[in-house]
């Protein structure tokens, strides 16, 4: 018998839920120069180890790119590819974008031009 704290059924159902969520995201493809991002979780502790209440955490403007559209056409009709790729960490504006929910997780759909910058990995 396994001394694991989680049963096989719990692990299997958790893994199945994650795979279903990933499949839903794979089916979604943003149009034009839109980018689907997921906000990075807010810090719950200070550097000194003090736990922060939810209201004091504030809104995080850092996000990870989850899906990218093909790009938009310029004045000449040529397709200009998007400058970010899946997995990039980006800085998003405090307000703007469209909130999208996939499998109970919140995402934000923004235009590439609204992104403020990228972080080096």
pLDDT (tens digit per residue) in 26-65: 677 888 889 999 888 776 776 777 777 766 666 678 889 9
Per residue in 12-25, is it b (16+ CB within 10 Å) or e — as a string? eeeeeeeeeeeeeb
99 found inside a domain: yes
15 found inside a domain: no
Q: What is the pLDDT of residue 11?
A: 52
pTM tops 0.85: no
d(CA 118, CA 121): 9
Q: How far is CA 71 from CA 33, 94, 116, in A?
A: 4, 23, 17
CATH number at residue 91: 2.30.33.40
Range of the domain at 46: 30-118
Q: What are phi and psi of 46, to 5 degrees?
A: -80, 170
67 found inside a domain: yes
The total of structural domains in the chain comes to 1
14 found inside a domain: no
Give tens-digit pLDDT for 55-109.
666 667 888 999 998 888 888 888 888 889 888 999 988 888 889 888 788 888 9
46 found inside a domain: yes
């Amino acid at each position: 018998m396994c001394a694991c704290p989680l049963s096989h059924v719990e692990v299997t159902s958790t893994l199945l839920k994650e795979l279903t969520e990933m499949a839903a995201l794979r089916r979604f493809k943003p149009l034009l120069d839109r980018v689907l991002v997921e906000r990075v979780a807010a810090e719950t502790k200070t550097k000194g180890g003090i736990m922060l209440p939810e209201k004091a955490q504030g809104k995080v403007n850092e996000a990870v790119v989850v899906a990218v559209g093909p790009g938009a056409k310029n004045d000449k009709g040529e397709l200009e590819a998007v400058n970010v790729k899946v997995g990039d960490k980006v800085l998003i504006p405090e307000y703007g974008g469209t909130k999208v929910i996939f499998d109970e997780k919140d995402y934000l759909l923004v235009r590439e031009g609204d992104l403020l910058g990228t972080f080096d990995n």
